[in-house]
Structure 1
Amino acid sequence: MIESDRELSATVQEIWDSDVNRLKPGKDYRISLQGKAGDTMSCNDSNDGAGLPLFTFVDENIFKKETFFAFISLLDNYESATGEPEIVTPEELAENHRFLDAIIQTPTMKIAHRYLVEKQLSPPDESEFKEQLYRIWFELYARRGSNRPDSSGFEHVFVGETRRGRTVIGFHNWIQLYLQEKLGHIDYKGYSVTAHSPQPDENKHILALQFSWKNGIKPKGSIFIGVSPEFEFALYTLCFLTSPNERVKVQFSLYDVEIVCYHYNQKHISTTYPVLLRYRNPQADSTGNPSEV
Structure 2
Amino acid sequence: MGHHTPPGAGNSGSSISTSELRQESENLLRVDQSLTQPSISYQGRTSASATNDNAARILISNVPRSALASETVSRMNQLLDNYEANTNTREDHTQQEQAEEGAFLDAVMRTQVMAQLQTFLTQKNLLRGTTLRQALADIWFTQYRRGGRQIASSGFEHVFVGELKGGKVSGFHSWLNFRKGETEGSLDYKGYMRHIDLNGKGSIVKARFEWLNQPKPVGSVFLGTTPELEMALYTLCFYSRPGSRCPIQLANNRLQIQTWTFTNRGKKVIGSAYPEI
TM-score of the superposed pair, with normalisation by structure 2: 0.87
Partner of 1:33: 42
**Given the alignment of the two structures, is residue 57 of structure 1 paired with residue 62 of structure 2, yes or no?**
yes
Corresponding residue for 2:4?
A: none
Note the 1:15-26 alignment, pairs <5 A. Answer: 15-23=28-36
CA apart distance, 1:124: 7.8
Corresponding residue for residue 273 of structure 1: 274
Quote how far apart the aligned CAs of 1:10 are. 1.1
Q: CA deviation at 1:38?
A: 4.2
Aligned to 2:237: 239
Match of 1:137, SS?
helix
Aligned 1:129-148 pairs, distance under 5 A: 129-144=132-147, 146-148=148-150
Residues 6 and 201 of structure 1, relative CA distance in 2, 3 Å threshold: closer
- The DSSP-based 3-state class of the residue aligned with 2:17 is helix
Q: Which residue identity lines up with residue 16 of structure 1 in the other structure? A: L
Question: Corresponding residue for 1:288?
Answer: none
Percent of pairs identical after alignment?
Answer: 36
Give the alignment of 1:90-105 within 5 angstroms.
90-105=95-110
The aligned runs of 1:1-293 (5 Å cut-off) are 4-23=17-36, 28-40=37-49, 45=51, 47-123=52-128, 128-144=131-147, 146-164=148-166, 166-193=167-194, 205-265=203-263, 267-276=268-277
Which one has a bigger Cα radius of gyration?
1
Hey, what's the Cα distance between the residues in 2 that align with 1:189 and 1:247? 27
User: 2:48 and 2:112 mapped to 1: Cα distance?
Assistant: 40
CA distance in 2, matches of 1:4, 1:83: 39
1:176 partner amino acid:
N
SS at match of 2:62: strand
Paired residue for 1:283? none
Instruction: Assess, with a 3 A threshold, how the Cα gap between structure 1 residues 259 and 96 changes in structure 2: closer, same or farther.
Output: same
The code of the aligned residue for 1:264 comes to F
Report if aligned partners of 2:237, 2:246 keep a CA contact under 8 Å in 1: yes
Counterpart-to-counterpart distance in 2, 1:226 and 1:114? 25
Secondary structure of the corresponding residue to residue 271 of structure 1:
strand
User: 1:287 matched to which residue of 2?
Assistant: none
Q: CA offsets, 1:106-126, max 9 Å, x none? A: 00001101111111111587x
Contact 1:10-1:252 at 8 Å conserved across structures: no
CA deviations on 1:198-250 (whole Å, 9 max, x unpaired) are: x6669861110010010101100101211100001111111001113411111
- Structure 2, unmatched stretches of 5+, are 1-14
Q: Cα offset for 1:60? A: 2.8
CA RMSD of aligned residues (A): 2.0
2:99 partner letter: A
Is the CA contact (8 Å cut-off) linking 1:168 and 1:217 kept in structure 2?
yes
**Most deviating of 5-14 and 207-216:** 5-14
1:11-62 CA-to-partner distances (Å, cap 9, x unmatched) read 1111101111334xxxx31111111124438xxx3x2111111123221321
